[in-house]
Structure 1
Amino acid sequence: MRRDGAELNKILEKAFEDAPRRIEEFVPIDVGNGTISRTVTKEGVILITLNMSFFEDHDAESQTGDDYIYLWFCFGERVSCSVGEERKIYDIENGQACIYEGSGLIERVTYQGGKTYNLRCMKIPASYYYAMLGKYFDSKERDRYRGEITGDITYIDIDNRTEHIFTELKDYTQYQSGPGYLYLESKINELLSLVLASVFKADIVTASRRLEKSKVDAAVEARRIIDDEIRNVPGRNELARLVGTSTTILGKSFREVFGTSIHAYVIDQRLEKGAALLLGTDMSVKEICTEIGYSKASNFAAAFKRKYGVIPSRYRTQLQQGGSS
């Protein structure tokens, strides 16, 4: 059985309206479980969080604003959406995000009963987005970046850094008034810069002009292996063997494509995962060290402090205290 989602539509309309206030609504208990919340920055960026499940299939719809850029992130069940009268379909898988320019058309989504949806949406005022491009990018980059989101939908994969930023975003309430907005803006800008780097793949595009495709492919595959095996990352020789090249060529190719060395990338990914585990689990620092591939807690603590400014235990305590205030 499928419900028309009238109650859900009212909640979504509140979440997607433009008024600058923070709201949190509960999914009606006769419909399902969960919450839909919204936070607005001083620049008018709207962050919407949807954590919900339904007893039966639910149809919902909302109108996109043609003066907004939309960023959707999926951390749960796959979502399918149709747009406009032509019912153009796009899907967002778990662990995936998409970015597109609003069209002013109606978006329709069917949420399946019995499934849990965990979605984030960033509505970015187009004027703010394009002003940012004008401030930080040259004319050729701006034209290319504008083209990425005009007329179609671009997809990217979500990594643990994205999840980590979303985890930290909710802690803006630990600050009062202006500092709270400043913290919120900084985290949203951090998230946006990460998304833009992924969407536009600027490093890979630049490197592809200088490197043979096989070398670019080897570097990309090496990064995938590192991400999948962060606890026991293969040594340089083994990593090069796995991607079918030499250690020298892989090292140079990796730096050309990603702008950093393999060693530095491994350390950064381990620290990002460590920070996410500190925030999202009750694991001890020692357990986290083992999980991310550090044999000594002292080495982890020193590297963590260089990146985040505090040792791991203090980092967790500060955020826990902030979240409870």
Structure 2
Amino acid sequence: MALPDVHHNFRQFFDGLQMHGSSGRRYERMNLHSWMGEGTVQRLAPRQDLGMAAVDFRLNDDYTVSLHTRVPMVELSCCVQGYRRVEVSGREFEMKPGSWSLQFANPAEARMPFSKNQPFQMMSIAIPVTAFHHFMENGEGTRGLDFHQIIGTLPYRVIQEAYDPASAYLLQQMMEASARPDSLGIEMECRILELLSHAFRSMLFGREQRPSGLSRTDLSKLERAREIILDRMSHPPSLSELSRLIGLNEFKLKTGFKVRYGSTVFGYLREARLETAYRLLQEPEASVIDVSVSVGYSNPSYFAEAFRGKYGMNPGTLIRKS
């Protein structure tokens, strides 16, 4: 049956972290043993062919979780904080914060090493191949993509990219809802399916059609521009400097960025700043002033106004909730 297959991999991961929960419950929250570190793991099974796990922890020592996938499956992983590494058949794959990946896996041995004292936050959604094929069908019953065509004879294939602000906000909402045991199954299932839909369209179908007028080299330079403004969030370069750094003229940078990411360069930066601030404000001993400065707001009043406009509450309210 699909449920044991999909959730078997999650249970192996939990067992590897010395967390032994109950496989029969729809929702489960487990705390990391104090000798290993601090943090939590949440597991959700809204229906038989859909599983989700959200992890948020920090380990005291370097640690590796080993597991063996038993059946072919598809997994969407969203890396919010920290770096995720997976070793399969002698190859290492790495995910950076702010990225998500679609992983197509045949039965294989895998290792997941974690570094000590590094905060790690990630959410993963797993579905069996039958569910993936169902999701790939259009209204006429024609399947747009096939699991076996994507992975071939490989044990593991990863498609990875940075998630956009809209998907980041959806991910944030879903992680908050998953932390509440009173969330209705229909609410969680809808959020999970919406996030899967965003990921499939972006990573599987969006790649087939390049934006008009943008070459592969242009797209690579625009992605580099996106990385630079996120890395230098507190002190971003001007448009002219960014243009020089990526080797693309300023006009093409502005127009191409809007086409590729659906926002202006500084509109995208603003959203990223507020989303980062939302996460930082929930950390222990966070202060509004420190967070506002760390994401690039020199004036706390301007920061509070922008935060209120996006989330409908003052940043200090989030600290009190945390």
Q: Same fold (TM over 0.5)?
A: yes
Please identify runs of 4+ aligned residues in structure 1 that moved more than 6 A. 7-10, 13-18, 26-30, 54-59, 112-117, 135-140, 159-164
Whether 1:243 aligns to 2:249 is: no
String of CA shifts for 1:27-52, please: whole Å, max 9, x gaps: 7899x566655222247421235658
Q: Is the 8 A contact 1:285 1:313 kept in 2?
A: yes
Q: Which residue of 2 aligns with 1:275?
A: 278
- In 2, Cα distance between the equivalents of 1:169 and 1:9? 19
Q: Please report how far the alpha carbon of residue 171 of structure 1 lies from its aligned counterpart in structure 2 after TM superposition.
A: 4.6
CA–CA separation in structure 2 for the residues paired with 1:157 and 1:289: 27
- Report sequence identity in percent: 18
Aligned-partner Cα distance in 2 for 1:272–1:297? 16
Equivalent position of 1:323 in the other structure: none
The structure-2 alpha-carbon separation of the partners of 1:281 and 1:196, relative to structure 1 and needing over 3 Å to count, comes to farther
| Residues 80 and 283 of structure 1, relative CA distance in 2, 3 Å threshold | closer
Residues 76 and 196, structure 2, Cα contact 8 Å, conserved in 1: no
The CA deviation string for residues 204-230 of structure 1, in whole angstroms up to 9 with x for no partner, is 9522x5224443343222212211111
Higher gyration radius (CA): 1
Structure 1 counterpart of 2:256, which letter?
S
What is the aligned counterpart of 1:64 among 70, 75, 80?
70
Q: Supply the AA of the counterpart residue of 2:111.
A: V
Q: Is the 8 A contact 2:54 2:124 kept in 1?
A: yes
Is the alpha carbon distance of 1:81 and 1:217 closer, same or farther for their aligned partners in structure 2, counting shifts above 3 Å?
A: closer
Structure 2 counterpart of 1:308, one-letter code = Y
TM-score for both structures, normalised by structure 2: 0.68
- Aligned partners of 1:309 and 1:114: how far apart in 2? 36
Of 288, 293, 312 in structure 1, the residue corresponding to residue 315 of structure 2 is 312
The CA deviation at 1:97 is 5.1
Contact 1:160–1:276, Cα closer than 8 Å, also in 2: no
For the Cα contact (< 8 Å) 1:98–1:153, is it kept in 2?
Answer: no
Q: Is the 8 A contact 1:203 1:259 kept in 2?
A: no
| Secondary structure of the structure 2 residue equivalent to 1:288 | helix
Among candidates 178, 186, 199, match of residue 203 of structure 2: 199
Decide whether aligned partners of structure 1 residues 62 and 146 sit closer, same or farther in structure 2, where only a CA change above 3 A counts.
closer
Q: Measure how far apart 1:153 and its partner are.
A: 1.0
Q: Secondary structure of 1:184's match?
A: helix
Q: How many residues align?
A: 302
Cα distance in 1, alignment partners of residues 113 and 303 from structure 2? 42
Pick from 220, 224, 228: which aligns with 1:225?
Answer: 228
What runs of 5+ residues in structure 2 fail to find an aligned partner? 1-10
1:107 and 1:8 mapped to 2: Cα distance?
Answer: 12
TM-score of the superposed pair, with normalisation by structure 1:
0.68
> What is the 5 A alignment of 1:43-82?
44-49=49-54, 51=57, 60-66=66-72, 68-72=73-77, 79-82=85-88
Aligned to 2:27: 22
Q: How does 1:48-127 map to 2 (within 5 A)?
A: 48-49=53-54, 51=57, 60-66=66-72, 68-72=73-77, 79-82=85-88, 87=89, 89-93=91-95, 95=97, 98-103=101-106, 105-109=107-111, 118=120, 120-127=123-130
204 and 232 in structure 1: CA distance in 2 versus 1, 3 angstrom threshold? farther
Q: Which amino acid aligns with 2:293?
A: T
RMSD between aligned residues: 4.6
2:4 aligned partner: none
3-state SS in 2 of match to 1:283: coil
Quote the Cα distance in structure 1 between the aligned partners of 2:304 and 2:208.
32
CA contact (8 A) 1:80 1:91 kept: yes
* Partner in structure 2 of residue 154 of structure 1: 158
**8 Å CA contact 2:104, 2:158 repeated in 1:** no
C-alpha separation in 2, matches of 1:111 and 1:272:
27
Aligned to 2:45: 40
Letter of the structure 1 residue corresponding to residue 109 of structure 2:
E
Q: Distance in 1 between matches of 2:192 and 2:147?
A: 19
Deviation track 1:103-130 (CA, whole Å, cap 9, x = no partner) reads: 3x24343758978795653212444444
Asked if structure 1 preserves the Cα contact closer than 8 Å seen for 2:103 and 2:158, the reply is yes
1:224/1:81 CA distance change after superposition, 3 Å: closer
Residues 284/139 of structure 1: CA separation in 2 closer, same or farther (3 Å cut): farther
Task: Sort the Cα spacing of 1:220 and 1:29 in 2 relative to 1 into closer, same or farther, 3 A.
Answer: closer
